[in-house]
Amino acid sequence: MAELRYNPLLGDWTMVASHRQHRPTMPKDFCPFCPGSGKVPDDYTVFAYNNDFPALMPEPPEPDPVGSELYRTEKAYGKCEVILYSPNHTATLPELSVPHIEKLIDLWTERFVELEKEPRHKYVMIFENRGEECGVTMPHPHGQIYAYSQMPLKIQTELNNCKHHHEQKGTCLICDMNREEKEFAQRVIYENDDFIAYIPFFTDYPYGLFITSKRHLTALSDFTEREKHSLADMLKQMTGAMDTLFDRLFPYMMVIHQRPVNSESVEEYYHFHIEFYTPLREPNKIKYYASSEMGAWAACNPHAVEETSGKLREAHQRYLAKQNG
């Protein structure tokens, strides 16, 4: 079964993908993403791979006949892709060179541009789940892309608030956030010519980093070559700092937020950024999303981000020292 089910309480859609439970458990000595597997090219740097068990499909089956006027169903239109970061089975993002990460950004951009050509797609989300704490069972370095036929509720909420801010103030909300974070300075981790990284004032995760473009851009396809290079540098630096923080592989969910596709223009008020959702609050302690967070969306951060920003900034300096040593 693969279908969308409408949640009338939230005005949102739930993806139902029961076929994914039949995904095989890979043997320890085989990886489909490694060269020689027969699943991928024998020689690649980065590679886009159609998900073998997609939740969304270009040609989905008809929904099961269990819906009603209240409980609507829709076909699970969309696309699910896997983006392989490297042929090296054990490589991590900060271990890749900046030119290598630039090739990854080029591939993300290429897939975004291609996926927005399908008029049924409304939002293209590029993301990475990293670490067992985030449910990862395939350690080979990879991310994913989902092209949704329905606008995800969180993205729509963010768009609505950015639009409201622009209507009230005449400015971009994220441009204003960038300016305020830079003026306050204590939550800023690192900046280069084109991007700034900070743990924002309001984040619900102790190390919930944001990376935002300094220029008011809405999507990867807006970037110059220099900006792609700057983003590659930023991703390497910040994921390297995370791994250095507790001297271990740092689990995270990384999500690229960009403009919707095949929808009304948001160019005036929306702004490209990357959000990290980071479950570790201490080396071996998880910040769980428990009843209040899940049941009421009442976020609770167990640490003040002015404190955690300092720790991540210090970890970034240690990472740089190791790189230069």
Do 74 and 88 touch, CB atoms closer than 8 A? no
Question: Which pLDDT value is given to residue 62?
Answer: 95
Catalytic residue among 142, 165, 257, 273: 142
The answer to whether residue 307 scores a pLDDT higher than 90 is: yes
From first CA to last CA, the distance across the chain in angstroms is 53
Residue 190: band (very low, low, confident or very high) from pLDDT cuts 50, 70, 90: very high
What's the pLDDT score for residue 27?
61
Average pLDDT over residues 238-260: 97
What does the buried/exposed string (b/e) look like for 265-280 if buried means 16 or more CB atoms within 10 Å of the residue's CB? ebeebbbbbbbbbbbb
Which tens digit of pLDDT belongs to each residue from 136-162?
888 899 999 999 999 999 999 999 999
Q: How many angstroms separate the CA atoms of 160 and 150, rounded?
A: 16
pLDDT at 20 over 90: no
Instruction: Tell whether the model's pLDDT for residue 133 goes beyond 90.
Output: no
Residues 249 and 279: their CA atoms lie apart, in Å, by 12
User: What is the pLDDT of the chain when averaged over all its residues?
Assistant: 95
With 0-12 / 13-18 / 19 or more C-beta atoms within 10 angstroms meaning exposed / middle / buried, residue 56 is buried
What pTM was estimated for this model as a whole? 0.95
Q: Is residue 325 assigned to a domain?
A: no
Rounded Cα distance between 55 and 4, Å, is: 9
Total domain count for the chain?
A: 1
Structure confidence at residue 73 (pLDDT): 96
Domain residues for 195? 2-22+30-315
Helix (H) or strand (E) holding 98: helix 98-115
Distance CA 258, CA 161 (A): 15
CA–CA gap between residue 137 and residue 133 (Å, rounded)? 10
Is 60 exceeded by the pLDDT of residue 24?
A: no
Q: Would you call 241 exposed, middle or buried from its count of C-beta atoms within 10 A (0-12, 13-18, 19+)?
A: buried
What tokens were used for 22?
């039949």
Residue 25: predicted pLDDT: 56
- Report pLDDT for 1: 72
Tell me if residue 216 is catalytic.
no
For 105-163, the three-class secondary structure string (H helix, E strand, C coil) is HHHHHHHHHHHCCCCCCCEEEEEEEECHHHCCCCCCCEEEEEEECCCCHHHHHHHHHHH
Q: What is the mean pLDDT of residues 10-25?
A: 75
Tell me what pLDDT residue 325 has: 74
Q: Is the confidence at residue 5, as pLDDT, over 90?
A: yes
pLDDT band at 26 (very low <50, low <70, confident <90, very high): low
At residue 19, the pLDDT reads 55
- pLDDT for residue 314 is more than 80: yes
pLDDT of residue 18: 72
CATH of the domain at 190: 3.30.428.10
**pLDDT for position 47:** 98
Q: Is residue 320 part of a domain?
A: no
Average pLDDT, stretch 231-251? 97
Summarize the confidence of residues 235-246 as an average pLDDT. Answer: 98
Pairing of strands 73-75, 210-213: unpaired
Q: Is residue 324 part of a domain?
A: no
Residue written as token pair 């950024």: 273
Has residue 323 been placed in a domain?
Answer: no
Listed residue (282, 312, 284) closest to 200, CA to CA: 312
The answer to whether 270 touches 232, Cβ cutoff 8 Å, is no
* pLDDT 10s digits, 28-38: 778 999 999 99
Q: Does residue 322 lie in a domain region?
A: no
Cα-based distances in Å from 85 to 48, 229, 247, 266: 9, 16, 22, 30
Looking at per-residue pLDDT, the higher value among 24 and 3 belongs to 3
- Does residue 261 contact residue 123 with C-beta atoms inside 8 Å? yes
Contact call for residues 281 and 305 (beta carbons, < 8 A)? no
pLDDT tens-digit readout, 50-100: 999 999 999 999 999 999 999 999 999 999 999 999 999 999 999 999 999
What percent of the chain has pLDDT above 70?
97
Longest dimension (CA), the chain: 65
The predicted model gives 24-51 an average pLDDT of 88
Note whether residue 207 is domain-resident: yes
Amino acid symbol at 63: P
